[in-house]
Amino acid sequence: MRKTGIALLFGLISSVAYAGECTVDAEATASMAFNLKEIVISKKCTEVTINLKNSGTMAKNIMGHNLVISKASDMQAVLMDGSAAGLDNNYVKVNDARVVVNTKVIGGGESASVKFNLSKVKVSDSYMFFCSFPGHAGVMKGNVKFM
């Protein structure tokens, strides 16, 4: 019984990124999904590193992915402006103050890393992570929690 409980616990943890060391390792897949449903960041972090890997094979203009974090309430506006900004701007409006952090758009087999300072967020607010490649955020999104 105890072993089953532990296995179940690991099963739950595997779909959540715990940034115990203030680093989040996320993967975007060929099937237009993130491997994480939720990102949990410790409030004790000063600086957070986001590592994104695109495990697909398609070029970035076809099935590229990025990882953007904003307040949940800003997400739709960030996406609209990001779509207008185009791939050359990684589908993020230049100097968008609503964006906490974003990676560049990467194609299959590529990786990207970005860092942000925790002072950029208000940990009591609701934040989301998402891919701003047009049409992706409907499924490529999840909550960012600060615990």
Give the Å distances, CA to CA, from 91 to 14, 56, 100: 29, 19, 14
Beta strands at 38-41 and 47-54: parallel, antiparallel or unpaired: unpaired
CB of 96 to Co ion, least distance (A): 18
Report the DSSP beta bridge partners of residue 49: 23, 115
- Which of residues 68 and 146 has its CB atom nearest to Co ion in the complex? 68
- The closest residue (CB) to Co ion is 131
| Among residues 68, 69, 131, 144, the one that binds Co ion under rule CB under 5 A | 131
> 40-79: which residues touch Co ion (CB under 5 A)?
65
| Among residues 67, 90, 136, 144, the one that binds Co ion under rule CB under 5 A | 136
Give the Å distances, CA to CA, from 110 to 38, 64, 66, 69, 70: 22, 10, 11, 20, 23
CB of 65 to Co ion, least distance (A): 4
Q: Residues interacting with Co ion, by CB under 5 A?
A: 65, 131, 133, 136, 140
